[in-house]
Chains A and B, each alone.
Chain A
Amino acid sequence: MGAKFVATSLMKPGMSLELRGAGVTFGGGLVGGPRKEALRPIDLVIAADTPQILAVVGESGSGKTTLTRLLVALVRPSMGRVLWHGRDVWRLDAKEFREYRRSVQAIFQDPFGAYNPVYRVDRMLLLPAIQFGLAVSEEAARPLAERALADVGLRPAETLGRFPHQLSGGQRQRLMVARAMMLKPAVLVADEPVSMVDASLRATILESLWHMRHDTGMSLVYVTHDLATAYQIADRVLVMRNGEVVEHGEASQVIRDPTHSYTRALMAAVPPPDPTIDWGLEKQR
């Protein structure tokens, strides 16, 4: 059955993004190919007026990417519902849907595919700025874009005006983070936002995301396979495996004292940056 996980103890009136028994299954039927349960039904509530950072930890095939796509309405739930303000996201009218899009944004894992190769990277920042009413024209949007770039350590002169294939993977990923920072959504779903970024810069970007919670009241769903950064940034943690939640709770609780064997295996597999600790590398399998 689905795991019940509530971000706040009381459902407060106001903005909320909720998954109610939502699950995703691919395939099946006559023409669909083999049936695959990408995500078992899950209950999840993110109340945007009590901001918090939720880490979703899992490896490939765990369903974490499907979960992010469900939250931002890029994939329909095969069962259950995705609710925004208590209303089904797939049944909203145009205006309400626009407001949902404005308030719930995402950062994708794939910095290569996220950019349309025929356009310059400026479009990644300027287009949403105009679409969501942050600026009336490209000229007006430019200062916003430049400030966002500075926040992620990118130099506008070296970044704007270029095509995606002219930037490195790390630069492209940072630019996507800049986009999110510029839009300041109520809920940000970030799927591996810093995996392609150097360690020295990773901390800076995570810090910016962390502060966004305090400064703008944004809630962050941080999807990663990296337990260490999850611990660093999250209030609560969800551990996923093969499409279902195997453990959830307070970050320090889950990571320091995991109950599920899979979580323990994950923890044991993270190499501690301290040579004096025996990680078990020399043991036979």
Chain B
Amino acid sequence: MSVALSVRNLSVEFATQAGVARAVNDVSFDLMPGERLGIVGESGSGKTTTALSLLHLVRKPGRIVDGRILIDGINIAKASPEILRRMRAARIALVPQGAMNALNPVLTCGAQFDDLFAAHAVPGGRAQIGSLLESVGLTEDVADLFPHQLSGGMKQRVCIALAIALRPAVIVADEPTSALDVIVQKQVLQTLVRVQRNLGAAIILVGHDMGLMAQFAHRIGVMYAGRLVEIGSARAIFGDPRHPYTRMLIASLPSFGARGVFQGIPGLPPSLLAQAPGCPFTPRCPRAAARCAEEAPETTSFSDGREVRCHFADEARHVA
């Protein structure tokens, strides 16, 4: 089966006053058609930059310095602006974070669809807009409303409808529900799942909520300091996390099982400037050895599709 999206050795740097920061460092993964991949990480992990790179939306002072992003044989990282313009929304679409800012406040929702259709020379029309809105659980008359007349959840659904309007093969959703109340969040995610399945599209969900990822994603990739440190099926990741960071991250999650128990990860994520050689998690890692500070770990692949960037990935699972 051919992949929907293939990322190989992606690296993105930001030129800042204080130096060059490597926000994404040698990230590789594949996305299968119809798959739901979750990319989870904390602030500074590079997850959002990775997501934006997939549509080549990283702007100065950031730029893609290495790697390939392949969709249908076309390398997004090196594509011309014209090709990018045609591919965005038509082959790969974005559902952004903070829908309040993504919709044009002076256009009705219907007009924003018209914009999209016109830009891609597609007929569109009222009937199609109506059916798109219905597919995300909104009524057709939303097309005549302005964004400020809609609630947060409704706006996010309009963004989803815009993203699927041209039937893309890949949808990238960057924390689409983080600004929403938890009940609305579930409804929007249910909509997203339904839409994605009807379309047969693959979806990458970027976020920091592990609970969400556990429920939403088939596969989960964990990022830390710009690197993809672990990737595997959701069940495998939660059942048997093999990277120390993944283990500690899962252990730190509050659950309805334990009260008064707190397991944070001490220390802070490293600065992305002037990165030390070796594994970036070394200062905070309970398993760290001398080797970790000197030598950056390569990716260890397992037969079940799991990949881990740790010198000790082969060790049997032990309680962190």
Contact = CB atoms under 8 A, between A and B. Distances in A.
B43 A170 contact: yes
B258 interface: yes
Contacts of A233: 259-260
B208 interface: yes
Contact of A275 (B182, B185, B191, B234): B234
A270 B208 contact: no
Contacts of B253: 199, 228, 273
Interface stretch (A3-11, A120-128, A276-284): A276-284
B234 A281 contact: no
B259 A231 contact: yes
A257 B43 CA distance: 35
17 contacts: A59-B181, A153-B268, A198-B43, A199-B208, A199-B210, A203-B264, A231-B254, A233-B260, A269-B182, A270-B182, A273-B214, A275-B214, A275-B234, A276-B235, A280-B186, A284-B194, A285-B187
Contacts of B238: 273-275
A67 interface: no
B261 interface: yes
A88 B187 CA distance: 44
Contacts of B266: 153, 204
Interface size class of A (residues with CB under 8 A): 35 or more
Given A204-B265, A281-B215, 6 more contacts: A204-B266, A210-B262, A233-B260, A256-B256, A272-B211, A284-B194
A268 B253 CA distance: 18
A269 B43 CA distance: 24
B263 interface: yes
Ordered nearest first, which 9 A-B pairs have the shortest CB separation? A204-B264, A203-B264, A200-B265, A207-B262, A198-B42, A271-B211, A59-B181, A228-B254, A203-B262
Interface in A227-247: 227-229, 231-233
B65 interface: no
Given A232-B254, A276-B235, A284-B194, A207 B185 contact: no
A60 B235 contact: no
A204 B262 contact: yes
B193 A200 contact: no
Interface residues of B, number: 45
B209 interface: yes
Interface of B: 42-43, 137, 181-183, 185-187, 189-191, 193-194, 208-212, 214-216, 234-235, 238, 248-250, 252-256, 258-269
Interface string A245-260: 0000001100110000
Nearest to B41: A198
A182 to B, nearest CB: 20
A39 to B, nearest CB: 18
B43 A270 contact: no
A149 interface: no
Given A274-B214, A275-B234, A203 B254 contact: yes
A154 B151 CA distance: 37
B215 A199 contact: no
A280 B215 CA distance: 9
Contacts of B254: 203, 228-229, 231-232
Contact of B190 (A232, A273, A285): A285
Nearest to A199: B252
A253 to B, nearest CB: 12
A233 B258 CA distance: 10
Contacts of B265: 200-201, 204
B42 A199 contact: yes
A265 B183 contact: yes
A40 interface: no
B267 A153 contact: yes
